[in-house]
Amino acid sequence: MKHKIQSRGLRSEVSPRALDKWNPAIQAAVESTAETITVYGVIGEDWYGEGVTLKRIDAALRAIGERDVTVYINSPGGDMFEGIAIYNRLLEHSHKVTTKVLGMAASAASIIYLAGAERQVASSAFLMIHNCWTFLAGNRHYLRDVADDMEEFDAAMADLYAETSGQTPDSMAELMDDETFIRGKRAVELGLATSILAAGEVTERETEETAQANALKAMDTALAKAGMPRSERRELFASFKSSMPRAAGGGTPRAALTDKPNAVAPDLSASLAQVAAISNLLKGTSR
């Protein structure tokens, strides 16, 4: 099914609603770099084409080796296919996997969350589940075919939520139809989470990286609402990235174990003044 859908050119997208509500400043208060993976940011391609990917998660797991692993999640979602691949890779890990939602695990990130044998969520955090979201163009025959494929994909996701939680696939499908945000306590009641995460494990850390992520998501949301196609938005962000000087030490990303900046925006040397200038320009064009 995955190959069939992707062969039609379908790519699942971040829900604009989830992106708008996501706060990238929410992170783990303390992270053990030896046994921790952070999923902070867009799943798959982000604004610069380098989000949280299977390649990074796989590298992190190989570095951790034969040990238990904790996965901290604060993500608005992204590419569902990448999320499923990461989910399967975590299931393959030989030792216990614990997943913890700090702020949000939306869409593809909620799938990754299900890979935990123990699944914790902060009382103030949310899961968000919905049907596959995409942008595409084509004639009526093509669009009908893609809709049929998406229906099958959504059913598979409802089955996965149901198998994990013990709820029925129909009840999960109803929540997906409504693009439902599920608070921590409700997630435990539904069986999607196994327990509430201690409040002391979560902090809100305002940094240059999180400020840049907020500016980027604001620009992306404004452009999407203005009708700019995803491909054109990515070209704009790529142009922005290429105009920025590289950070000292070269462009080699750190290991995925502590790859928080790369999960949001890989090149962090740009001044926030540049980001603000582009944001103001886009606000003007979207009026």
- C-alpha–C-alpha distance, residues 263 and 167, integer Å: 32
Active site residue 107: yes
Q: What is the identity of the amino acid at 285?
A: T
Contact 64, 34 (CB under 8 A): yes
- Give, to the nearest 10 degrees, the angle between helix 169-177 and helix 140-165: 130
260 CB contacts (<8 Å, ≥6 apart)?
Answer: 27, 38, 40, 209
| Active-site residue, from 107, 195, 271, 286 | 107
Q: What are 243's two structure tokens?
A: 């105009």
Q: Which residues are catalytic?
A: 107
